[in-house]
Amino acid sequence: MNLKSLDLNLLLVLDGLLRTRHVTRASSELGMSQPAVSNALNRLRHHLKDELFVRTKGEMRPTPRALELAAPVRAALETLSLALDPARFDPETAVRSFSIGTNDYAVSTLMPKVMERLEAQAPGIALRLVPSAGRTLDMLDAQELDFGLSAFGETPERFGRALLIDDSYVLMMRQGHPLAKGPMSLQAYAQARHMLMSPRGHDQGFVDRELAKHGLTRRIAITVNSFAAAPGLLSGSDLILAAPKRIADTFAPLYGLAVREAPIAGPQEYASATLLWHGRFSVHPAYQWFIDFMKDVSADL
C-alpha cells in the first residue's frame, strides 16, 4: 500500500477499536464522536480491502486480518509516540497514562500508596490496571502493556525488572477456628478445609505439591481467583487459606481473622511483586521516572 494515500490518523482508530472492541469506548478514548469513528472504520475497510470488525452482541469482533495488524500497528504508534515525546519528563506537569498488567495482590498491597504519591507528585499521571495472568510477557511484547507487576519466575533478557515487594506466606482463618491456636501437625493441616486462590483457575497450588512430597493430599473446598474474595468467605466458615503476609496484614484486621505461621513455606517467586518492562523502553524518560517512582514507593512499605 502507498502510505501517501492513507490518513495515518486512521491507524489510531484501528488501534483503539482493537483494544476496546467497542465503537463507543474507542470514541471516548480517542476524543472523537461515534459517527467519526464509524466513518474512519469504513475508510479503513476500503483501504485494506477487509471488513476488519464484525458486529456481534456486546462487541466488535476483529477479523483475522485485523488481528494480524494489531501488533505492528501498536508498535508503529508507540515508536512514533516515543520519537515525539520530549527528551525530559516532568512528572508535575506530564499528562499520560501507564497500562499495568497486574493482580489483586499488588492492587491491595502497593496501589493505595502508589495512588497517594501520584496525587501529590504527578497528578496528571493515570494508571490502567489490566488482568494479565499468564499473558504478561506476550502483552509487553505486543506493547499492549507498559509494565507488568506480579510474581514472575525467570524472564527473558529482553525484559527489565525490579523487585518491589518480597513477602512470605501465612495462614488466614476465622477467629475460633480449631487450627487458630496450638500445635499444628502437617496431617492436621492437610485434613482441614482449604481455600485455593488461583488467578488462572488451576485446581492445585504449591501447597499440594509440597504435601505430595509427604504422601499427603488436602481437600480444596473452594477455588477463587482473587484474594479480595477470600476474607468474607473465611470469616463465616472453617476454611483456611495460605496467603502472602501483606494480604493478611491488609484484610485480617478488617474481618477479624486469625493469622498464624504456615507449615509450608511458599516459593519466593509466589510471594513477591516484580515490576517488569520491555527493554526497548529502558531509556525512555517517562518509563525511567515511573520505574524509579515505583521503587521509591515500595521502599517505604
For 68-109, how does the pLDDT look when each residue is reduced to its tens digit (9 = 90+)?
Answer: 998 888 878 877 776 776 667 899 999 889 999 998 888 889
What's the topology of domain 169-270? Answer: D-Maltodextrin-Binding Protein; domain 2 (3.40.190)
pLDDT at 164 (0 to 100): 95
Residue 170 has pLDDT above 70, yes or no: yes
Residue 133 pLDDT level (bands cut at 50, 70, 90): confident
251 contacts 241 by C-beta, under 8 angstroms: no
**Domain residue ranges of the chain, discontinuous segments joined by +:** 3-83, 96-165+273-299, 169-270
Distance CA 264, CA 175 (A): 21
pLDDT at 4 (0 to 100): 66
Using DSSP, state whether 262 is helix, strand or coil. coil
User: Average pLDDT for residues 190-206, to the nearest whole number?
Assistant: 91
pLDDT at 244 (0 to 100): 92
Distance CA 268, CA 248 (A): 17
C-alpha cell at 94: 506530564
Residue owning grid cell 515525539: 84
Same fold, 3-83 and 169-270: no
C-alpha cell at 191: 485434613
> Is the pTM here over 0.75, yes or no?
no
| CATH class of the domain whose range is 3-83 | mainly alpha
Residue 2 has pLDDT above 80, yes or no: no
User: Is the CATH code 3.30.365.10 the one for domain 96-165+273-299?
Assistant: no
pLDDT at 176 (0 to 100): 94
156 contacts 232 by C-beta, under 8 angstroms: no
Q: What is the number of helices (H) and of strands (E) in the chain?
A: 12, 12
Least confident of 107-116, 133-142, 211-220, 239-248: 133-142
> Residue 71: what are its φ and ψ, rounded to 5°?
-65, -50
Distance CA 247, CA 58 (A): 35
Residue 139 DSSP class: H
Q: What are the pLDDT digits (tens) for 225-264?
A: 889 899 999 999 999 999 999 999 999 999 999 999 989 8
